[in-house]
Chains A and B, each alone.
Chain A
Amino acid sequence: MPGAYLVGLLVSIAGIAVLDARYRLFFWRSPLRAAAVMVIGLVFFLVWDVVGVHLGVFFIGHNDLLSGVLLAPEVPLEEVFFLVLLCWTTMDLFGALGPVVARRLDRPSVDDRVDAGERP
């Protein structure tokens, strides 16, 4: 089904956006800074993709799941959404781990007790 991959990516992105909003991890913590990081990530990985395509390393396979819209030869529209998902997932993870790691490194003995009581 054409567009199925894009739908899958959008559903996935919606999921990490909800987590971001709920726990204030990335865009919901500092929107401008998050936007800047996202743009840097997209440019970085799109250049990587284009060079890889140019070298002939990877290309679009045989499927009927893509929308058919191409941004460049062998670079489908979906690639941008995949990279958004990759970058946003990375920063959701980093944002969620920061406070946890800080607690563990600062006060491991107290932390274990608190965690045991607070975690569901």
Chain B
Amino acid sequence: MTGSATYALLAVPFLGVALLVAVTAGVVTARRRGAGRRRVGIVSAVVAGAVLLVMTGVFNNVIVGLGIVAYDPALVAGPRIGLFPVEDLAYSIGAALLLPSCWVLLDRPRTGGADRPVRSERPSRPSRRHDQPPRRPEETP
């Protein structure tokens, strides 16, 4: 029952694509909103990824323990986190890389045409945004 790198190698192209999208999102965000905003996005995605890894650690142990999913021991490298192969964590890493990047890339760009107001859910003055409380007043009864 010798392990192999099949499952690990499977993750390579997917994480490669996700990383490429993340780098693109970083470049685009820095150009649109400045390096500060890019830093906020990167830190947010990294912390989200860390939380996701912890949640995955719990969730995957449950579904492997219940027999919902099983693995061919000959195709995984061997190291397990509790019950599941360590390669499973690649899904969480891929999600943290790809999804926030797509989210910021699909944001409406605030490009040159300054005379035409761009409809956005965000206020036009980013420096004031952080002063607002997280809840809008009209939400509270």
Contacts and interface: CB of A to CB of B under 8 A. Distances in A.
Interface string B34-57: 001001110111011001100100
Interface string B12-34: 00100110000000000000000
B40 A101 contact: yes
Contacts, number: 135
B124 interface: no
B39 A105 contact: yes
Contact of A94 (B6, B18, B44, B107): B44
B69 A62 contact: no
Contacts of B66: 5, 61, 63, 65
Main secondary structure of the interface of A (DSSP, over half): helix
Contacts of B17: 44
A41 B107 contact: no
Contacts of A51: 10
A94 to B, nearest CB: 4
A36 B52 contact: no
Contacts of B45: 94
A52 interface: yes
A63 to B, nearest CB: 4
Given A97-B48, A103-B130, A63 B68 contact: yes
Contacts of A29: 121
A89 B44 contact: no
B64 A61 contact: yes
Interface string A85-100: 0110111011001110
B116 to A, nearest CB: 20
Interface in B69-87: 69-72, 75-76
Nearest to B56: A86
Contacts of A86: 52, 91-92, 95
16 contacts: A5-B68, A40-B98, A40-B102, A41-B98, A57-B71, A59-B70, A63-B67, A86-B52, A87-B99, A93-B48, A93-B51, A94-B99, A94-B103, A97-B43, A105-B39, A107-B130
Interface of A: 5, 23, 29-30, 33-34, 36-37, 40-41, 44-45, 47-48, 51-52, 55-63, 65-66, 78, 86-87, 89-91, 93-94, 97-99, 101-103, 105-107, 118
Interface of B: 6-7, 10-11, 14, 17-18, 36, 39-41, 43-45, 47-48, 51-52, 55, 63-64, 66-72, 75-76, 91-92, 94-96, 98-100, 102-103, 106-107, 121, 129-130, 133-134
